[in-house]
Amino acid sequence: MSEDLIARVAAVIAKTQKIPPESVTIDKTFAELKIDSLDGINILFALESEFDVDIPDEAAREIKTVREMVEGIEKLVAVKNP
């Protein structure tokens, strides 16, 4: 996981949630960040735009932490730019 990727994902989450970027750290859970199901799909939508990827529903359902979100994006970006 590159620092740049973590920072970009965190920035999207912070912007969508209207919370300070420094509050979105890699080990936070969505519950700790008060991200509910509707917030979650809103974040996925913003991340799809940021990274120009399609996040499948099944994969999205399992994501509950910032780390899992970054790892998921990393995989999708790797598939897109091998």
Partner 1 sequence: MSIRRVAVTGIGVVSPFGDTFGEFWTGIASGISAIRPMTLVKEGTVRFPNAAEAAAFSPLSHFDEKDAGFLDRFAQFAAVAAREAVASSGLNIDGALRERCAVVTGSSAGGQITKDENFHSLYALNGRVSPLTIPLVMDNAGASRISQEFGVRGPVYTVSTACSSSNHSIGQAFWMVRNGVVDAAIAGGSEAPFAPGFLKAWEAMRVVSSDTCRPFSLGRRGLILGEGAAMLVLEPLESARARGAQVWGEIAGFGMSSDAHHLTQPLAEGAALAMRNALSDAGVAPEAVGYVNAHGTGTQANDATEAQAIRAVFGAHAGRVLVSSTKSMHGHALGAAGALEAAATLAALRGGLIPPTANFVEPDPDCDLDVVPNHSRPAEIEYALSNSFAFGGLNAVLVFRRA
> In terms of CB distance, is 26 or 60 closer to partner 1?
60
Of 76, 78, 81, give the one whose Cα is nearest residue 54. Answer: 76
Number of residues that bind partner 1 (CB under 8 A): 12
Dihedral sign from CA coordinates of 34, 37, 62, 74: negative
Kindly state the tokens that stand for 35.
């991200």
Phi, psi (rounded to 5 degrees) for 26: -60, -30
Instruction: Report the nearest approach of partner 1 to the CB of residue 41 (Å).
Output: 5
Is 36 a known active-site residue?
yes
Alpha helices of 1-82 — where are they, by DSSP H?
3-17, 37-51, 57-62, 66-80
Q: Is there binding between residue 37 and partner 1 (CB under 8 A)?
A: yes
Instruction: Report the nearest approach of partner 1 to the CB of residue 38 (Å).
Output: 5
Question: Binder to partner 1 among 15, 60, 71, 74 (CB under 8 A)?
Answer: 60
Question: Binder to partner 1 among 7, 32, 45, 77 (CB under 8 A)?
Answer: 45
